[in-house]
Amino acid sequence: MTRRTTPLAFTLVETLVVVGILTLLLAIMVPTVKMVRAESRNSGCLSNLRQDYEALQAYQSANKGILAMCEFIPVVTPSGIEGGLPNLLAAYLPVDSGAWFCPADFDSESTDTGTSFTYMPGLLRYAPEIQLEVLQMLVNLPPQTIERQRNRARLETESKLVARLFEDDVQGLFPLLMDSEDRHFGTREPRNGVYIDGSARAIVVEANTAVD
């Protein structure tokens, strides 16, 4: 006697169940993978900001504690990138170092300027009260002071006045260097910064307050 065997195969119902389970798993996994990538890029951004801070510290040590003073972002000119923190700190961190970029930054403008980050002292130097003191200092310089000496005196005065703002910032409200745009969606806060004490962390903007 021969025994008839039924070929093994999925029924239509079983196939639909498997497809449904796979679809559910993908729906769970895709956001998780995106979140893991976002956290990884966020961690890389914080690490890069710490490296930039170390270069800032090296500059200050080599310049009698003077806070680096330059444009808050590099300027793109027909002849190339000029000014900005990467160029000023080139002796301590190469201009083409990946530490000048946030791993979550895919903006071509950042590539053009050479960095993802905004240098806050370079922005705060233009505060009216600071420029007023700088103007008073320049007016009191001896008439024979040459242009190079005047520019150096201006930068040193701006540096000292801006440094005073950070020293008075006991709550740590102002980052030294920060993401120029919100780049870390999917994490706790979308923008990172490094502070005067060397800590790199998310910038939290609270209602009715400035940056925390």
Task: State pLDDT tens for residues 191-209.
Answer: 999 999 999 999 986 544 4
Spell out the residues 6+ positions from residue 115 whose beta carbon is closer than 8 angstroms to its own. 73, 74, 84, 85, 86, 100, 101, 180
Structural contact between residues 189 and 38, judged by C-beta atoms closer than 8 angstroms: no
Average pLDDT for 65-80: 91
Which H helix or E strand runs over 53? helix 12-62
Comparing 31-35, 40-44, 176-180, the range with the smallest average pLDDT is 31-35
Neighbours of 195 (CB within 10 A): 21
The number of angstroms, rounded, from the C-alpha of 121 to the middle of its chain's C-alpha atoms is 14
pTM for the full predicted model:
0.79
For residue 116, the model assigns a pLDDT of: 96
Q: Which residue has the higher pLDDT, 148 or 23?
A: 148
* Alpha-carbon distances of 195 from 54, 62, 201, rounded to whole Å: 11, 20, 8
Structural contact between residues 72 and 123, judged by C-beta atoms closer than 8 angstroms: yes
Q: Please state, for a pLDDT cut of 70, what percent of the chain lies above it.
A: 85
